[in-house]
Amino acid sequence: MYRIRERIYKGLFTLLAFASLIFLVGITLTLFIEGLPVFKEVGLFDFVFGKSWYPTYEPPDFGILPLILGSLWVTAGAVLFCVPVGVGSALFINELAGKRLKAVLKPIIEVLAGIPSIVYGFFGMVVIAPFIQRLLNLPVGLTAFTGSLMLGIMATPTVCSISEDALSFVPRSFREASLAVGANRWQTLTRVVFPASASGISTSIILGMSRAVGETMTVLMVTGGAAVIPHTLFQPVRPMTSTIAAEMGEAVMGSTHYHSLFAIGLILFVITLIFNVIAELISRRFRKKLGLGR
Amino acid sequence: MFNSRIAIMVLAAVFSVGLMVSVPTFAAKSLTIKGSTTVLPIAQSCAEVFMDMHSDVNISVQGGGSGVGIASLIDGTCDIADASRSIKDKEKEKAKENNVRAYENVVALDGIAVIVHPSNPVDGLSVEQIKKIYTGGISNWNEVGGKKTKITVISRDSASGTFETFNELALDKERVRPDALLQASNQAVAQTVSRTPGAIGYVGLGYLSSAVKGVSVEGVEPTNENVINGSYELARKLFMYTNGAPEGIVKAFIDFVLGEEGQELVKKAGYVPLI
């Protein structure tokens, strides 16, 4: 009796563990099946490097370079914001804050991660965009920079909490050794603790980037949606995610436009996959360096 | 190990294919409506209310565009074809070959208001000026009698029905300048225009509000009356084509759309009712 139950449980949990694999394979397959027809019709090169996105005109243009660049600009801008803030707060929490302050700060930063993205979108559209428009005297406040700022705030918790973990993994002995040879706190921080956790911090940054590049609702609401190749951060852009979200509902099922939206999803998937693989590789190297095994 | 991997992949394939195949429905009476994305919101909301009133009727509403709708009516795969244009001669011929007589029912009017920021001194534009602003020929307000401000062009996503209408009526299907901001809804366009002093946008007539200024087109104010009397240029009729004069369940539905309740839904969807 006991044995049978054990077996059932084992089987059940094995199934649950493999469920995510099934979803992953299912999603990947769907993306490929629905996305690949575009490459036959438009060609991979013309699709990825084409400069104009006019999917519903006659004749249509399916060039997603402006969309890819839009996503990358917004993400790069977000990194400029979330790295100093995220890593800075991780350093403060780990190195300087007392126990009580740490107990308050960490949960507060984590609450930021729990705010729904549409709320960031509202905030960005109603408060930040008009503010930036007036501050910089721009024709319109819905720009790549506005999106970067919002995504930067959203990615900060990811960067901060993973960086903080990386810092706390640095063995006590490293610090003690450094202080013992006469280094002060600043020297210990910049020359011992920081290099030792550098790859962990890089991991956090890349994971933050992959969070930013995949974010949809916020950028749909605050970046304006103009499919042009961006020259500055202060002009409207149309990231890949918001293109899919805005056009999926009204694209004719089975048309080239419909398939091209899946193909955009496929390319986005590849980009985030690359980010995640890089993050994984760096974090492996990091663990080895500190002698923590795999 | 290898076998189990194949099993998992097969399972995933079955799973994803299963998602794509829609389950056929069986109801006492069923009605298929297909066609223009502009008419889609009207068909959808009317179908919902109609089905609530008649629990034995099942209505399936699909988009696809006016051409797709009329083609489906001709080959018999839909009962009602939504269209934002009248039927072309070529389509009429094809219908004759298939023994289908496309019967025209006007169900609503669609007017588009061109809007600017309330502080903008420009009160009226010609269709030619609107076209030049949207396609890139004019990029400063002082070229059309306004202040020296760069024009921020705001458009709808090119797959939307409102865009389709505007593109046909004002732009002769020419491409909108690539740096135009594309917004996902009428509300988003109005919101952005109301916050951007140099902006120009367009919304369905039902979305005009005091937060933005609707300019006159060729000297005619964008009002429901002017759309109904035909003097406002950026307007057109919306159709539901049926095979012959509507009968039975099709007639019941068309009558509902043309009735008081249906026209109220037309208004709610942002269009101009016939009455």
Mean pLDDT by 10 residues, chain A (294 residues): 86 90 93 92 91 86 94 94 93 87 88 89 91 90 94 93 89 89 89 86 90 91 90 92 86 83 94 90 75 52
Nearest CB neighbour to B182, from listed A22, A25, A225 = A225
Whether residue A85 lies inside any domain: the answer is yes
Q: Where does the pLDDT of residue B132 fall: very low under 50, low under 70, confident under 90, or very high at 90 and above?
A: very high
Q: Calculate mean pLDDT across residues B226-238.
A: 91
Residues linked to residue B230 through DSSP beta bridges, in sequence order: none
Bridge-based pairing of strands B29-35 and A53-54 is unpaired
Chain B residues with CB-CB distance to A21 below 8 A: 8
Measure A11 CA to nearest chain B CA, in Å: 14
Whether residue A140 lies inside any domain: the answer is yes
Q: Give the range of the structural domain holding residue A156, as residue numbers without chain letter.
A: 37-289
Whether the pLDDT of residue B3 is over 80: the answer is no
State whether residue A254 is helix, strand or coil.
coil
pLDDT at B1: 44
Nearest CB neighbour to B179, from listed A125, A129, A226 = A226
Nearest CB neighbour to A26, from listed B15, B158, B180 = B15
Q: Calculate mean pLDDT across residues B129-134.
A: 95
Whether residue A28 lies inside any domain: the answer is no
**Contact assignment for A252 to B184 by CB distance below 8 Å:** no
Residues linked to residue B200 through DSSP beta bridges, in sequence order: B116, B153
**Contact assignment for A225 to B159 by CB distance below 8 Å:** no
**Contact assignment for B150 to A139 by CB distance below 8 Å:** yes
Average the pLDDT over each of A226-230, B6-10, B45-49, B209-213 and give the range with the smallest value.
Answer: B6-10
Whether residue A169 lies inside any domain: the answer is yes
pLDDT at B10: 56
Whether residue A27 lies inside any domain: the answer is no
- Our count of domains for chain A comes to 1
DSSP B55-66: TTEEEEEEEE-H
Whether residue A8 lies inside any domain: the answer is no
Q: Any idea what the CATH number is for the domain that residue A84 is in?
A: 1.10.3720.10
Beta-carbon-side half-sphere exposure of residue A35 (alpha carbons within 13 Å): 20
Chain A residues with CB-CB distance to B175 below 8 A: 54, 57
Whether the pLDDT of residue B240 is over 90: the answer is yes
**Contact B66/A at CB under 8 A:** no
Measure A204 CA to nearest chain B CA, in Å: 32
Tokens of B103: 């019967």
| CA A135, A141, A143, A147 torsion-angle sign | positive
**What is the overall mean pLDDT for chain B?**
86
Whether residue A206 lies inside any domain: the answer is yes
Whether residue A122 lies inside any domain: the answer is yes
- Look up residue A237 and give its DSSP letter: B
Chain A residues with CB-CB distance to B162 below 8 A: none
Measure B85 CA to nearest chain A CA, in Å: 17
**Residue B203 neighbours by CB distance under 10 Å:** 28
**Contact assignment for B8 to A22 by CB distance below 8 Å:** yes
